[in-house]
Amino acid sequence: MNPRTVRWLFFLGIFGVGLVCAFQKPFREYPGFENENDPLPPDFNEKTEWSFARLMYPPMGGFRFRRGGDWSQGDSFWTMDYPRADRHFARALRRLTRIHVRSVEQPVNLDDGDDPFNWPWMYGVEVGHWNLTDAQARKMREYLLRGGFFMCDDFHGTREWAIFSESMQRVFPDRPIVEIESRDPIFHVLYDLDERYQIPGEQFLESGRTYERDGYEPHWRGIYDDHGRLMVAICFNMDIGDSLEWADTPAYPEKYSALGIRIAANYVVYSMTH
């Protein structure tokens, strides 16, 4: 490739990143389920190539933890571990890779027109409590088929799997959820993760149990597109969100945070290369 072509490709890449940033929703914050008043990093407005996009969703059963609350303003399980987990992981990804990572997260609402398509990697927490509308399920399907990647985490046991599945089957009624095999590239794209184990939530510090409810066995499941690309990565019966949130807490075992960070980092790199 000649130098002139290289220069053109470089400038086109810069233009493309700038174009995407121009149409993204600006950074926004909401009250968290657990954490509030988390200090903003000084570089929170920096334009970067990757951001931790957190899926906003309405909860099952009209759950509210604030009087007069609104899920689109943070009154839902989607704010669990938010924003500490997101910001801890952003710092870790900056140190462990050369990805240009924004220091703060971005809550993403599927009802916000085309905005979800500007965030190619998205994380959903506590999806054993979500209740996507039909319109949101259609938008999620389009997002994934257009190249988006969705990682979900922190739901446990038979009942929460059934709730998760009900919405996900409306997203993809024609695609099965399968166990991801250990040889899949997603477990080897950055770290080799053949030896995985159940990652517990912070409740482990009091209970000593790595599982919650009847979620005794961890599962790494997924949904693939027609070309063998993993679109949905499902972390079931584990709590990677807590392993990120409590990564700086000495009482929480380092081995769980280390694995949680590696899994999430692999998922990010996979999403950017597949």
One digit per residue, pLDDT tens: the chain, 274 residues?
A: 454 543 454 444 444 444 445 578 999 999 888 876 788 999 999 999 999 999 999 998 766 666 567 999 999 999 999 999 999 999 999 999 999 999 999 999 999 999 999 999 999 999 999 999 999 999 999 999 999 999 999 999 999 999 999 999 999 999 999 999 999 999 999 999 999 999 999 999 999 999 999 999 999 999 999 999 999 999 999 999 999 999 999 999 999 999 999 999 999 999 999 9
Instruction: Say if 166 falls within a structural domain.
Output: yes
Number of domains forming the structure of the chain: 1
Instruction: Say if 11 falls within a structural domain.
Output: no
Instruction: Say if 38 falls within a structural domain.
Output: no
At 24 the pLDDT is: 80
At 113 the pLDDT is: 97
Instruction: Say if 84 falls within a structural domain.
Output: yes
- Whose tokens are 């957190």? That residue is 54
The gap from C-alpha 137 to its chain's centroid, in whole angstroms, comes to 17
Comparing CA positions, the residue from 231, 239, 211, 266 lying closest to residue 34 is 239
Instruction: Say if 211 falls within a structural domain.
Output: yes
Q: With contact defined as beta carbons under 8 Å apart, do 81 and 184 qualify?
A: no
At 32 the pLDDT is: 87
DSSP class of 49: S
At 9 the pLDDT is: 42
Q: Which domain holds residue 207?
A: 43-273
* CATH number of the domain to which 224 belongs: 3.40.50.12140
- 82 φ, ψ (degrees, to nearest 5): -85, 140
DSSP class of 60: G
Q: Which residues pair with 150 in a beta bridge?
A: 122, 232
Give the span between the Cα atoms of 211 and 237, in whole angstroms: 7
Instruction: Say if 146 falls within a structural domain.
Output: yes
Half-sphere exposure of 2 (CA within 13 A, CB side): 2
Instruction: Say if 33 falls within a structural domain.
Output: no
Instruction: Say if 7 falls within a structural domain.
Output: no
